Each structure stands twice: as C-alpha cells, then as structure tokens.
Amino acid sequence: MLKHAKLNLSIALFFILIMYVNLFLFIYLTSNPYVYLDAWFEIQIFLIDFWESGSLQIQDLYRVRSFSSHAHPLHRLLLIANAIVFGLDFKIEALFGSLFLLGILFILLKHLTDISKILIFDWRASLAIVALSATIINLNTTTSFLWSLVTLGYISIFITICFFVHFSNKIIHNKNLDAVSLLLILLMLFIGDTSGIVAAISAIIISSIFAIFSKSIRLWLHPFAVCISLILYLLWRDYILTLSGTPELGSPLLKGGIASPTLLSGIQYFISNPEEILPSILTPFSESFISRKQLYIVFGSSSLILTNIIGVFILSVHAWCICLYIRCQMYKKTLLPLFLLLFAYGLILGIIFYRIPIVIQGSEYLHNERYGRTFQVTLWSCGFIMAYYMLNTKYPFNLKKHLITIASICFLILQFGFIYNAWQSRSINIKLQEKSADQIRYIAGHLQDEVPCNSSTFCDFDLETQQRLTMFLRNNKLNFFNPNIIERQQKGIIQK
C-alpha cells in the first residue's frame, strides 16, 4: 500500500476509534444499574422462579408473554450470571452489549477489505469508510445504549452478520456448507429466536434467487440446508413452547394456519386505517437517518413534516444503492448487503404488523427510540455499498463518487449534533433514573417520604406484584438494594 494510502487508512481508523471511545464513555457515564422497563417482566416471569427453585429448564429460556413478544434465551442466561456475580447490575450488561457493536464494525470492515481490490484509497475513500462506521456507532438514539435489553441485542446481530458473511462466501465461491456454517445457523436461530428466523428466511430468499440466475443446481444446496435447519428449529421451538404451557404461541405455519392472529389483526388494522400505511413505511427510513427526537430539538412541530420528507429521501437512497450494487457487479463479490437489507426489512415489517395495531399511538409508535437499532441496520448496507464503490472504482472523478463524498460529509457533520444532544441530555436521564429508584425504595420501605409511582411497566403491575418484585430484590440484595451498587451511587460513580 502506498504511503499516502496508509496515512488515509490510519486517519480513518483514528476517527473510528474516537467515535467508539465516545460511545463507550457515554454508556459508562450515563447508563445505570437499575431495573428498567421490560427487565421487570424478565424478573417476574423468569428470574424469581429460577432463584426460588434453584433449577433451570430449557423451556424457561424461551417462555414468552404473547404473540408480539419474542424470546431472549441468551439474555436470560446473562441475567442469571449478572444477578449472581454483579448483584443484577444492568450497567454491566449495557457495556458488555456495546462490545459486540465493535465486533460488528470489525466484521464489516474486514469483509469490505477482503472483497475489495482497493484500486484507490484517497481521502474520499477513507471518508466513506468513516461514514460507514458512523452508521453503526452513533448516538442518534441513545435508548439503544442505555437500555441493556436493547444493547444486548447486538449479540444476536453480531452472530447473524457472521453467518451472513460466511454464507455469502460459500455461495460466491460455490463451496459446500461446513461445520462452521451449521454452527452459525444454530447459534443464530437458538440465540436470536425471532431475529434468527427472519435472518434465515432472508438467507433462503437471496441464496435461492442467486441459484436461479447462476443456473447451478449445486447452489440450491445452500438455501435447502438453511431451510431444513429452520424447519427443524421451528418444530423444536413449538415443542418447547408446549412444555412451557404456551403452545398457542408456536409457529402457525406448522399448525396448518397461514399466519398468527396478531399478524392477521395487523393486516386488518391497515385495511381499516389506510392513512397509517404511508407513515408506517416512511418512518423507519427517516428514523434510521435522524430520529424525530433529534429533529424536534431543532425544528419543533415542523419535525413531523420533515420526517416524511427525509423518509422519502432515504428510501430513494436505498433504491440508488441497490442499483449501484447491481451496476458495479458487487454481487460477484458478496451478497452481504442484500442479506442485511432483507433482514432489516423483515424485522421492520414485523414491528409494523405486530406492534402498531396493539398500541394507542398507531404509526407514531415507530418513533420509539428502542427501534432505532433495527432501523439503522438498513443504513449499514447502504454505507457498505458506498464504501465498496469508493474503494473499487479506478477513476477518481465521477458523479457517483462526488455524491457519495457529499453524503459522507453531511452524515458525519450530523454526528456532531447527535453527540452534543446526547451529552446534553445526560443529566436528565440520570435524574429520571434516580427518581425511578426512589419509587422502588419507597415501595420496599427504604424511604419514608412518599414517592408517587409513575415509572412505566413497573407501575402497570398490581400492588401485590409490585411488592413481590421489590421484596425479591431487597431480600436478595439485588439491584436497588445491592451494597456495591449503593456504595458506587454514594460515591457518585454512577452519576458523574
């Protein structure tokens, strides 16, 4: 590599490192150890039973509340380890999950360099690589990093991307699947559950299309192997759900139906409310680029109109990137961008049809920051395609390269606003967390002055359930009542 190319690469890696260090510090200084939102359900339906019985059965890891919920088997194993080792410190989970975000970035950048000829590595190519990294490491939605249940989701996404890269290489080079392929498929399904199922379906569709166009019978073995693995997993999953007492939550396809009742009600919802269709399509694309919360800080009530405009623009960018993928014959090198796009689209459709119909807010619910992680996966694919084009196009001056350079610069400038707003909101986040902690301590009898309960999820429980949860934590010195966490709080390590 030429001297100036090495310099450009070094500068790019330096800025990527700065972005990740900033993110890690934000998580360390802003997140806290307290039980938050859906973690209460995990304690209620899983941890208490395990703690009191001292035994763990496989069906306990896959027990879900409803059709709109999905299992978190790895999260629950980590929850047990967290409770035993750290006294149920959710800050540890947030930091641990963020490490897999770095792993995702490493896998994507390594795959990008593996498939690239790197005909040119000027400052604009390095800029595109930094922009790709910024689609992964950014503070557009802080909830993705302060809510450990969401942050731990990066583990299953990391495994999924490892599978996509490995599976793509097998298809492109027309090689048979091996033991590593099988291991990644199993990990993706058993750990990811719902997301693993969507990833498997995405792999089946894309690899089948590739086999059709390549006219190679041997390539049909790849989608066939994934399909068989998926069917076996769904059968096993239905069996486990039967053991857990919730067989009705199993796969409708394996029971002779065409869809779950929740999906059918979702379709009916959009037939009855056609005005919700367009916002539901545009919002995920807009939120992947800049959240409504970020827009509202600057533009106030005008953010609603801007959301739809940005949504149309980002949707156009997706279409342009797919055309670019085909025009530069990137499909001869990798199928990863297509896997990522279809995977993300599948997850988004799941949110649209399974969540929107059951919430009061309708399509407005898609602005919930917890889904920012899912929406941003679509940008990973677009950023990957653009970076590949910049590295593998010989001619330094053409319209596409200018457009990608401008887009990279604008996107990176936007990151400074995200970083500023995130750090500005840090004190607000901490005050809300401490207020929630005081509510729990009051219910447990640790505070004399009454603190009204207004914390979502926990306050939705009846009084008996609230007391059972708080007594469990207090009696076992977990979370709000763990001596180490209390000591850190008093020393100001949590808040400062």
Residue 420 lies in a domain: yes
Give the C-alpha separation, 177 to 175, whole Å: 7
Check: CB of residue 359 under 8 Å from CB of residue 353: no
pLDDT in tens, 252-297: 545 544 456 667 777 888 888 888 899 999 999 999 999 998 998 8
Instruction: Return the minimum-mean-pLDDT range out of 87-101, 129-143, 238-252, 470-484.
Output: 238-252
Cα torsion 219, 221, 224, 229: sign: negative
Report how far Cα 277 is from the mean position of its chain's Cα atoms.
Answer: 23
Residue 80 lies in a domain: yes
Residue 297 lies in a domain: yes
What is the total count of domains within the chain? 1
Which tokens sit at 302?
């005008």
pLDDT in tens, 306-317: 999 999 999 999
| Range among 157-166, 349-358, 437-446 with highest mean pLDDT value | 157-166
DSSP state for residue 355 in the 8-state scheme: T
Residue 134 lies in a domain: yes
Check: CB of residue 92 under 8 Å from CB of residue 82: yes
**By residue range, what is the domain housing residue 206?**
63-424
In the structure, what pLDDT confidence band is assigned to residue 467 with cuts at 50, 70 and 90? confident
**pLDDT of 322 over the 90 cut:** yes
Give the C-alpha separation, 127 to 383, whole Å: 11
In sequence order, what E strands does 252-373 have? none
Q: Indicate the average pLDDT of the chain.
A: 86
Residue with more model confidence, 193 or 344: 344
Question: So what's the pLDDT on residue 230?
Answer: 94
Residue 113 lies in a domain: yes
Say which residues have a Cβ less than 8 Å from residue 386's Cβ, sequence separation at least 6: 128, 131, 132, 321, 324, 404, 407, 408
Residue 441 lies in a domain: no
Give the C-alpha separation, 161 to 120, whole Å: 27
pTM above 0.95, yes or no: no
For residue 332, the tally of other CB atoms under 10 A from its CB is 9
| Residue of 183, 220, 223, 228 whose CA lies nearest to 205 | 223
Residue 9 lies in a domain: no
Residue 487 lies in a domain: no
First to last CA, the chain: 44
